[in-house]
Amino acid sequence: MLSPALRTLMYITAVLYALLGAVLFTTPVQTSSQFAWKVSPFVTMTIGGWCLGNAWAAWVTAARAKWPLVRTVLLYLWLFGLLEIAVLLMFRDKLRLAHPIAWLYVLALAVNALAAVWGIFEWLRTRPAAGAGEETTVPMRVFIAAYVLFVAFLGVFGLSRGMMGRGTAGAVFPEVMSAFTLSSFAAFYLALALSALPLLWARDRDTLAHHGYASYGLVLIITVATFVYIDLFDFAARPLGLVYVGAYVLVAIVTAVFLFKYGTGARKGRLATAST
């Protein structure tokens, strides 16, 4: 089981992300001018979607609290917090901290990073055993591999351009992105890809089920944000925009089918809790 201290940090992280995400997601026009750096309303709403998704992932992971079940979602949250903090430090000269919403973003990342450091030391100290549930099927592993490769490519491409001070011109994402924004998106994608990578050799369907369940908030909420701003996409002139929209829709559909068929890992989580 996760220690009480780590679970408490995860719950605090969830609450901070929920508060931040609710404000950014529901008032993107107003808060885009108050955020920690210069962003558009669509980017603001998307970041709000990240935060709401992270809140769900952190809360359900803290509630289930069994290392073999939740380890890959913990890895995502740890990577997200540490990588996004690194992006802030890299672009610290462009930070705008005049408004409380910007400080709330920094605070949420700081607590997330603290939970990451605490969790890494706890994992190194306890060395929890891997799960030993029913194996994933070959089609499941093929989908995971394709997902990891695609999302990792986005992360590496974005981070390489961001570190060179270059943004994007709106070929895939429908708006021009600054190097700061692109690097932040790249950190998010790298966290998603690297945390899913262990699922290829974990071969534990319950771990995959929890990963899909805890991550579904991210996929669903960001997809909603995309369709709110769907008029920004010009698929005729910039057809690569279909990749951005289609990727989220495809992952949402495949994950929903998997969860409906195989469950969310909750039964294993309940049994683990009852046995401790």
SS (H, E, C) the chain: CCCHHHHHHHHHHHHHHHHHHHHHHHCHHHHHCCCCCCCCHHHHHHHHHHHHHHHHHHHHHHHHCCHHHHHHHHHHHHHHHHHHHHHHHHCHHHCCCCCHHHHHHHHHHHHHHHHHHHHHHHHHHHCCCCCCCCCCCHHHHHHHHHHHHHHHHHHHHHHHHHHCCCCECCCCCCCCECHHHHHHHHHHHHHHHHHHCCHHHHCCHHHHHHHHHHHHHHHHHHHHHHHHCHHHCCCCCCCCHHHHHHHHHHHHHHHHHHHHHHCCCHHHHHHHHHHC
Looking at residue 269, its pLDDT comes to 43
**Domain containing residue 85:** 4-275
Whole-prediction pTM: 0.92
Written as tens digits, the pLDDT of the chain (276 aa) is 999 999 999 999 999 999 999 999 999 999 999 999 999 999 999 999 999 999 999 999 999 999 999 999 999 999 999 999 999 999 999 999 999 999 999 999 999 999 999 999 999 998 877 666 788 889 999 999 999 999 999 999 888 888 777 777 777 888 889 999 999 999 999 999 999 999 998 778 899 999 999 999 999 999 999 999 999 999 999 998 999 999 999 999 999 999 999 899 876 444 444 444
Number of domains in the chain: 1
